[in-house]
Amino acid sequence: MKILAIDSSGMPASVAVLEDGLLRAEYTVHYQRTHSQTLLPMMDEVRNMLGLELESVDAVAVAGGPGSFTGLRIGCATAKGIGLAIGRPLINVPTLEGMACNFYGTDCIVAAMMDARRNQVFAGIYAFRSDAEDADPLEVLMDQTPIDVKELCGRLDALAAERGRRVLLMGDGAVSYRSLIEENLTAAHWYAPAHLNEQKAGSVAMRAMDLVTVYGEEKMESAAEHRPVYLRVSQAERVRAQKAEGNE
Amino acid sequence: MSDVKILAIESSCDETAASVVVNGRDVRSNIISSQIDIHTLYGGVVPEIASRKHIERINQVVQEALDQAKMTLDDIDAVGVTYGPGLVGALLVGVAQAKALAWARNLPLIGVHHIEGHISANYIENKELEPPFGCLVVSGGHTHLVLVKDYGEYEILGKTADDAAGEAFDKVARAIGLGYPGGPKIDKAAKDGDPHAIEFPRGKVRGSEYDFSFSGLKSAVLNYLNEKHMKGEEISVPDVAASFQRSVVDVLVEHSMHAVNEYGFKKFAIAGGVASNSALRQAMEEACARRHVQFYRPSPILCTDNAAMIGAAAYYDYLKGIRSDWSLNAVPNLKLGER
């Protein structure tokens, strides 16, 4: 199976091609230019470098959220356009599961988090297992959700104690809220190094491959159906809902 | 030369649209998925919601445009897309999709200016229309008096100093309780009103004879409503609507005809959402007829935001060899005539 993977959910733009057991290409740029300007030129470079025939791609994997609303939509609209153009399905990879796969096989509990402002992060808590052969190698201890940093630290302490493991913190949320984490997290922990801290499309492709292998084709969706998972309603909807509540 | 078939995409505001246009004027499909119902709940377009709706609909709309044209992507020669001006988040959905389609299919990509699209809507139903001509573009976001020198070559003679004409319609409609969208609602209400009932001011911009200003008119209407309210007097919604509309239409026609006289236009066109307004169409038609100027206006379906007009504009860029590269970005404040 050949997977073309895209992640533009956060600050880095990343593109990868995974063919069965081989990562053919991974191209990640974290710079000031917008994903709208960088993503497709990067893909073009990868295509040219590999002499990639898009018809040979079986599925397009995309980090489907959470993330920056605009960033998600650029990646998503790109993936949907390619899916439509080549008649292939999409695989939606939850952003934080993809990120956790940067540490595939670790003994630590992985806390992947993206800064969601106001002392909140979009976070997911994961562990890897190697025992059961057909099982999902990624164990979801807390599904990705918006959460206060303090509350997240409490959850991590409980899980670390229960499992007797250290905690590995990753993502731009772990950088933004480091002092708040230091104040609140008591379990033994460490921070991801720079080269593994952020989104990588190779990990998105890997997670997509696992999702399809373990759960089957139900993890694929048509390019038309796919939409980002924001995990947050728009501000206008939130204000409107609050007003409606106030009127009751 | 063989036929040039362009797939065009437009998502600059609250309409997700796609179209297949052959040789710039032959529209094979014109699919528009409107989000108006959801934005009506908020009294106007909410950018984040618009962007979310675009992404949910874009593939279906593009597929429907191809299906209705009885074509597949194999038949398409180029992809055209609106890249500005408009709401950045909304534009980005269409731009990213168009880029991906063109890239995956090795097709030329052509970024189109939204206003250029509106102007080009006039080519679709008027096969004989060619530049040069004068054009008034009036919509919710734009009020431009333009000299169309040649295909893709424009000189802006005048524009609004504050609110766009359509914006003024929306604001006044909200103030008199007609709701959103204001244009069609005021047009309808005005049919039962007296356009001379109330004297509202005509917006002028000192020192620039072709520029427009609608904020003073909007304030005058609000002051009138407030005054009536303070005195406990009833207002006539049809009269306010008709009088306000007359004031807008008078200024639009007056400036346009001033340009017709000065530049000696033989042809004059209107475009944009407000070009659907029945009073504007009638007044402009009469004013042009008096001057023996040929008057053009698109059907309402081509006045509203649509992708057929983008396909028409993209075709003339295509002929000139204009191409966008893969780094094409959405430009929310793109100026007409700039690339």
One domain, residues A161 and A205: no
The whole-number pLDDT of residue A248 equals 61
**pLDDT at residue B44 tops 90:** no
pTM exceeds 0.90 for this model: yes
H/E segment holding residue A89: none
User: pLDDT-based confidence at B43, cuts 50/70/90?
Assistant: confident
Name residue B112's beta-bridge partners.
Answer: B82
One domain, residues A19 and A142: no
**pLDDT at residue B205 tops 90:** no
- CATH architecture for the domain at B5-120+302-319: 2-Layer Sandwich (3.30)
Cβ-Cβ contacts under 8 Å, A40 against chain B: 96, 99-100, 103, 326-327
Domain boundaries, chain B: 5-120+302-319, 132-299
The whole-number pLDDT of residue A116 equals 96
User: pLDDT-based confidence at B229, cuts 50/70/90?
Assistant: very high
Cβ-Cβ contacts under 8 Å, A235 against chain B: 48
One domain, residues A68 and A125: no
Residues 6+ apart with CB under 8 A from B279: B187, B190, B195, B245, B246, B249
The whole-number pLDDT of residue A143 equals 98
Task: Write the single-letter amino acid at A182.
Answer: E
Does residue A133 lie within any of the structural domains? yes
Report pLDDT digits (tens) over B98-116. Answer: 999 999 999 999 999 999 9
Report pLDDT digits (tens) over A234-243. Answer: 999 999 999 8
Alpha-carbon gap, residue A76 to A68, rounded angstroms: 12
Does residue A186 lie within any of the structural domains? yes
Does residue A243 lie within any of the structural domains? no
The whole-number pLDDT of residue A246 equals 81
Q: B154: helix, coil or strand?
A: strand
Counting the structural domains of chain A, the total is 2
Distance from CA of A202 to the nearest CA of B (A): 20
Task: Spell out the long-range contacts of A43-51 with Cβ–Cβ below 8 A and sequence spacing 24 or more.
Answer: A43/A4, A43/A6, A43/A15, A43/A78, A43/B103, A43/B326, A44/B103, A44/B326, A46/A15, A46/A16, A46/A17, A49/A25, A50/A17, A50/A24, A50/A25
Q: CA A72 → CA A7, A208, B80, B105, distances in Å?
A: 8, 17, 23, 23
H/E segment holding residue B185: helix B182-190
Q: Do domains B5-120+302-319 and B132-299 have the same CATH topology?
A: yes
Report pLDDT digits (tens) over B310-321. Answer: 999 999 999 999
C-alpha dihedral over B114, B116, B255, B220, to 10 degrees?
A: 0
Alpha-carbon gap, residue B85 to A168, rounded angstroms: 45
**Average pLDDT, rounded, for chain A:** 96
One domain, residues A31 and A42: yes
Cβ-Cβ contacts under 8 Å, A54 against chain B: 104
The whole-number pLDDT of residue B83 equals 98
Report pLDDT digits (tens) over A134-190. Answer: 899 999 999 999 999 999 999 999 999 999 999 999 999 999 999 999 999 999 999
- Any idea which residue has 């006045």 for tokens? B303
**pLDDT at residue B141 tops 90:** no
Does residue A23 lie within any of the structural domains? yes
Q: Name the phi and psi angles at A111, rounded to 5.
A: -110, 105
Probe site for chain A from B329, B331, B334 (most A CB atoms < 10 A): B329
Segment B283-312 mean pLDDT = 97
Cβ-defined contact of B98 to A40 (cutoff 8 Å)? no
The whole-number pLDDT of residue B208 equals 85
Does residue A123 lie within any of the structural domains? yes
Strand order in the sheet with A138-148: A138-148, A120-128, A109-115, A167-170, A189-191
Residues 6+ apart with CB under 8 A from B183: B140, B166, B169, B170, B173, B273, B274, B276, B277
**Average pLDDT, rounded, for chain B:** 96
One domain, residues A185 and A219: no
Segment A3-7 mean pLDDT = 98
Segment B173-196 mean pLDDT = 94
- Smallest CA–CA distance from B89 into chain A, residue: A70
Cβ-Cβ contacts under 8 Å, A56 against chain B: none
Which of B257, B165, B158, B157 has its CA nearest to residue B202?
A: B165
User: Which residue has better confidence, B141 or B291?
Assistant: B291
Q: Name the phi and psi angles at A3, rounded to 5.
A: -120, 130
Segment B240-262 mean pLDDT = 97
DSSP β-ladder status, B133-138 and B143-150 = antiparallel
Q: Which two tokens stand for residue B30?
A: 């014109």
Task: Determine the structural domain holding residue A41 and report its residue range.
Answer: 2-95+198-237
Which of B186, B166, B163, B167 has its CA nearest to residue B176?
A: B186
One domain, residues A193 and A211: no
Share of chain B above pLDDT 90, in %: 93
The whole-number pLDDT of residue A32 equals 80
Residue B43 touches chain A, beta carbons under 8 Å = no
One domain, residues A117 and A182: yes
Alpha-carbon gap, residue A194 to A224, rounded angstroms: 36
Which CATH number covers residue A39? 3.30.420.40
Q: For chain B, how far is it from start to end, CA to CA, in angstroms?
A: 27
Strand order in the sheet with A59-63: A22-29, A13-19, A2-7, A59-63, A90-93, A220-221
Which of A40, A43, A235 lies nearest to residue B48, judging by beta carbons?
A: A235
Alpha-carbon gap, residue B183 to B140, rounded angstroms: 9
The whole-number pLDDT of residue A245 equals 85
Does residue A193 lie within any of the structural domains? yes
One domain, residues A136 and A213: no
One domain, residues A121 and A109: yes
Of 3.40.718.10, 3.30.420.40, 3.40.190.10, 3.40.50.20, which CATH number belongs to B132-299?
A: 3.30.420.40
Segment B222-241 mean pLDDT = 95
Q: Name the phi and psi angles at B81, rounded to 5.
A: -150, 145
Task: Write the single-letter amino acid at A131.
Answer: D
The count of C-alpha atoms lying within 13 angstroms of the C-alpha of A140, restricted to the half-sphere facing its C-beta, is 15
For B278-299, the DSSP string reads HHHHHHHHHHHHHTT-EEE---
